[in-house]
Structure 1
Amino acid sequence: MLSDTQPKAEFAGECHAVILAGGSGTRLWPLSRNLLPKQLLVLGGEVTLLQQTVTRVLDAFEPSRIWIVTNEEHVFEVRKQVAAVRPELEAQVLAEPLSRNTLPAIMLGLEKVVEFNDAALAAVFPSDHLIGDDEAWINDLVRASQLAEQGYFLTFGVAPAKPETGYGYIALGESVGEGAYAVNGFVEKPDLATAEAFLREGTHLWNSGMFLFRARDFLRQVAKCQPELWEWWMAREETPLVQGYRDIPNISVDYGVVEKIDNIAVVQASFHWDDLGSWEAMYRLGDKDESGNVIQGDVLAVDCRNCLLISEGGKLAACGLEDMIMVQTRDATLSCPMPRVQSVKDLVDILRREGSQLVESHPTVVRPWGSYSVLEEGPHYKIKRIQVNPGARLSSQMHHHRSEHWVVVDGTAEVEVDNNPVVLVENQSVDIPKASQHRLANPGKVPLNIIEIQSGPYLEEDDIVRFDDVYGRVKK
């Protein structure tokens, strides 16, 4: 998918885009997991939310002025997805070594912006929102850029359509221009009574999480509000920003800067916006059948009304349900009344405290060389299906606690065990003893599929020591 459109926006000054492509999207569990968050999923369209965002941003910005910030866990998938939209954007993806919330991520993007021009404007966009009417979105950006040139820090607010308790709100002050207002304060996820009052009185807008500001003005505010982050920023010529990530505060841009400054204004959006932040939003935006149900996948629904029913696993059979959400994957099923949709995040928090892998990944995990799927596991054993893309190779590695047995299902495998190379084809196998250095590659032109049987006292993914890796994953 290529976007060949020429940018349409006529900003008041030089303007760059910073797209935030990290985050976990826990309210869309079990489809969204830490290793495959919602921006990397196809939701509400034919391509992923990230690809929709990149395509839209290309309508307003030159590719050389677009920066995508993600983290090391997602960087290879993000690069693959943005390259499918515009190949040169693959080099514009920046990787955080670990998540430190939105403020450090924005500063990582701003490092690239100020290399061009510290007087340039910067627009910050989440990668997991749905935007309708791109022309209106561009017009609102241009309007915001004019105010940013006057020294304002701009955010974008959306007129509430209902009393929503899952969004932050912006309190409106006096007008500062056409469709723009001073900000009188922020309210984070109010209770239902407060949200109903905001809707009734028309005094508040939903906070969209999009911003536009002059880069150097923003950084001055960081220096004033977050001296620890400023010290980290100022040392970047001696120490790259990513090297200091583990020691900096985990802090959002809203709490760290936006809520502490005075010259902030909000542009009321003239475009449709939805953050797809809950299953209720997926239901509301989905195509409904004659009974008001949104159904995706292998689902049998009998006498069900106004339900969201999704299956990415086996057959999901539902009978007599009303106003319910049921989402089934290969390894987990969510069942929740529609009015309790915000409680999904609480369920994920419980699973995380229990150390459940259901929060981390799907049975199928995407890697830069291909993917693997866990077929079965139990005490001291795990069975995987591994698919290696044509021409790809895994790292040279070893495991302290497990041995492996590989069987080629189809394709051709180049295997090296302790410097002994061998080529395997369909139905041939090889043993990988514990603590042996080994490597797997696909020299062919079709995908390589193997079955891997692991055995040992510890079988988690962190029992990998890498010696060489074409994807730069060897730890120094």
Structure 2
Amino acid sequence: MPEFKPRAKFAEECHAIILAGGSGTRLWPLSRNLLPKQLLVLGGELTLLQQTVKRVLAAFDPSRIWVVTNEEHLFEVRKQISAMHSGLDGQVLAEPLSRNTLPAIMLGLDRFIGGNDKVLAAVFPSDHLIGNGEAWIEDLVKASHLAARQRFVTFGVEPSKPETGYGYITLGKPLDTGVFEVDGFVEKPDLATAEGFLRHGSHYWNSGMFLFRAKDFLKQVAKCQPELWDWWMAREERPLVQGYRDIPGISVDYGVVEKIDNIAVVRAGFAWDDLGSWEAMYRLGVKDENGNVIQGDVLAMDCRNSLLISQGGKLAAVGLEDMIMVQTRDATLSCPMKRVQSVRSVVDALKAQGSQLVESHPTVVRPWGSYCVLEEGPHYKIKRIQVNPGARLSSQMHHHRSEHWVVVDGTAEVEVDGHARVMVENQSVDISKASQHRLANPGKVPLNIIEIQSGPYLEEDDIVRFEDVYGRVNK
């Protein structure tokens, strides 16, 4: 486990809030709502979230790091960050539903602001790539001095190309070496505007990272967002999450940052990239002699300057140039490189169709293990279920489906309507509709079973939980 060693005095008076609740729609079909990009390994050995945590641990004590995520991702986030440092397990905060970045930041502030008027907060997205960690820490130190003088600080990246997928910061007068006042913000511009920004050097990319004095930030929330301020002020009467469904979803940029004057931007001395599109994956990937970035089981013939990824079977590509092809077990994306920003529109169209391809992969991670949908059709679904050693599912029942379980390997402890039994390889059990049942793995190796569901309705919301070690009992 990494050991905390103070890197700068600012870390003694500053807390870090890592935002890990995004959906990453522009990296579909790898990124889905139940397993978004920050929880994926997209290069190297660590997920984007783990890379962020590792970087933040170099500057902050674990007790001063807070990770805000969605309830759906809570257990996976805990697992991933605990692998980086065991002291982080209790530092995860769960939103009951997504309300964008401003409420998420306020949820984090609630854990440490107390009565300390001087406490600082640093906000980091969990899905960015950062290079040169020493320069990153130096820039944090510089920003902390500005924040202590009641400046709201953001970090800008000097553009290297006319990027239309990023927001921009308009530079004002210089305040110090590499530090400027902010004259405004520009949402994702068209190509001609972005080219003008690059020529004139008048704008930086908006990195989405901030550092500020918590008390000053909340004063601006009170001024700019009175509805959120009322929600915040009622937190002594009931936890913030209890009022989450009634507050507006709003980003910190639109809700506060773009409405205040006392903002400074620190020019990033570190390498930065928002891994938010397939074009970025291609640009940062290792290219072969033909300029292709290839991952997985791919046969590329006469292809040039293309991104070819397969996570589900053989992908054969012939004569492609400047193309993106991403194949998973249940979906394939084919898109010209220059149309990469249209992937978001694909996701919107799938949502409009009610497609489950937006929600999850065939394999879905759960706190007790995982399940994979092998096949499904009208009135039936076949799953492979893996239960981790020592783990147990909730005690539950279904109104609309019956189930048949077959143990493939491992040892299963099965309880049906109060009757318990131990099952081993090739043994099976039938579970009728409305039967209260439970599955556990008492062994020391993973348990694998095949589950055959049958009935008129087979979706995951047909679960009534009676008891659950992970706190998921139906409210």
- TM-aligned CA deviation for residue 116 of structure 1: 7.2
Contact 2:387 2:446 in 1 (8 A): yes
Aligned runs of 1:76-115 on 2, under 5 Å? Answer: 76-115=75-114
Residue 132 of structure 2 is aligned to residue 127 of structure 1: no
- TM-aligned CA deviation for residue 475 of structure 1: 2.7
Residue 147 of structure 2 is aligned to residue 148 of structure 1: yes
Partner amino acid for 1:465? V
CA distance in 2, matches of 1:318, 1:463: 41
* Residue range with higher mean Cα deviation, 197-206 or 113-122: 113-122
- TM-aligned CA deviation for residue 62 of structure 1: 0.8
Aligned to 2:68: 69
- TM-aligned CA deviation for residue 119 of structure 1: 2.1
Contact 1:27 1:277 in 2 (8 A): yes
CA distance in 2, matches of 1:466, 1:116: 40
* Residue range with higher mean Cα deviation, 62-71 or 114-123: 114-123
Aligned to 1:396: 395
Partner amino acid for 2:208? G
Cα deviation per residue 1:228-262 (whole Å; 9 max; x = unaligned)?
11111111111000111000111110111111111
Q: Secondary structure at 2:165's aligned position in 1?
A: coil
Q: Which segments of 5 or more consecutive residues in structure 2 lack a partner in the other structure?
A: none
Aligned to 2:249: 250
CA distance in 2, matches of 1:466, 1:343: 40
CA distance in 1, matches of 2:44, 2:425: 38
- TM-aligned CA deviation for residue 11 of structure 1: 1.6
Q: Which segments of 5 or more consecutive residues in structure 1 lack a partner in the other structure?
A: none
Aligned runs of 1:268-287 on 2, under 5 Å? Answer: 268-287=267-286
Aligned to 1:423: 422
Contact 2:34 2:73 in 1 (8 A): yes
Aligned to 1:207: 206
- TM-aligned CA deviation for residue 5 of structure 1: 4.8
Q: Secondary structure at 2:108's aligned position in 1?
A: helix
CA distance in 1, matches of 2:454, 2:12: 60
Aligned to 2:367: 368
Cα distance, 1:291–1:116 mapped onto 2, change above 3 Å: farther
Partner amino acid for 2:341? Q
Contact 1:13 1:149 in 2 (8 A): no
Cα deviation per residue 1:276-310 (whole Å; 9 max; x = unaligned)?
01000000100111111100000000111111000
Q: Secondary structure at 1:349's aligned position in 2?
A: helix
Partner amino acid for 1:361? S
* Residue range with higher mean Cα deviation, 3-12 or 295-304: 3-12
Cα deviation per residue 1:302-360 (whole Å; 9 max; x = unaligned)?
11111100000000000111111000000000001111100001101100111100000
* Aligned residues with identical type, % of pairs: 81
* Residue range with higher mean Cα deviation, 173-182 or 351-360: 173-182
- TM-aligned CA deviation for residue 118 of structure 1: 4.0
CA RMSD of aligned residues (A): 1.0
Residue 428 of structure 2 is aligned to residue 433 of structure 1: no
Aligned to 2:237: 238
Please identify runs of 4+ aligned residues in structure 1 that moved more than 3 A: none
Partner amino acid for 2:205? W
Aligned to 1:170: 169
Q: Secondary structure at 1:8's aligned position in 2?
A: coil
CA distance in 1, matches of 2:418, 2:393: 15
Aligned to 1:304: 303
Aligned to 2:377: 378
TM-score normalised according to structure 1 size = 0.99
CA distance in 1, matches of 2:388, 2:116: 40
- TM-aligned CA deviation for residue 6 of structure 1: 1.6
- TM-aligned CA deviation for residue 176 of structure 1: 1.6
Q: Secondary structure at 2:10's aligned position in 1?
A: coil
Aligned pairs, number: 475
CA distance in 1, matches of 2:138, 2:408: 54
CA distance in 1, matches of 2:45, 2:448: 27
Partner amino acid for 1:96? E
Partner amino acid for 1:86? H
Q: Secondary structure at 2:235's aligned position in 1?
A: coil
CA distance in 1, matches of 2:331, 2:214: 44
Q: Secondary structure at 2:393's aligned position in 1?
A: coil
Contact 1:44 1:285 in 2 (8 A): no
CA distance in 1, matches of 2:103, 2:248: 8
- TM-aligned CA deviation for residue 13 of structure 1: 6.4
Q: Secondary structure at 1:91's aligned position in 2?
A: helix
CA distance in 1, matches of 2:115, 2:289: 54
Cα deviation per residue 1:101-139 (whole Å; 9 max; x = unaligned)?
000000000001213734200000000000000000000
Cα deviation per residue 1:52-100 (whole Å; 9 max; x = unaligned)?
0000000011111000000110000000000000001011011111111
Residue 59 of structure 2 is aligned to residue 49 of structure 1: no
CA distance in 2, matches of 1:130, 1:379: 43
Cα distance, 1:138–1:456 mapped onto 2, change above 3 Å: same
Residue 316 of structure 2 is aligned to residue 314 of structure 1: no
- TM-aligned CA deviation for residue 367 of structure 1: 0.2
- TM-aligned CA deviation for residue 205 of structure 1: 0.4
Contact 2:74 2:92 in 1 (8 A): yes
CA distance in 1, matches of 2:146, 2:196: 30
Partner amino acid for 1:104? P
- TM-aligned CA deviation for residue 12 of structure 1: 8.2
Contact 1:13 1:121 in 2 (8 A): no
CA distance in 2, matches of 1:12, 1:294: 39
Partner amino acid for 1:68? V
Aligned to 2:186: 187
Contact 1:34 1:359 in 2 (8 A): yes
Partner amino acid for 2:419? N
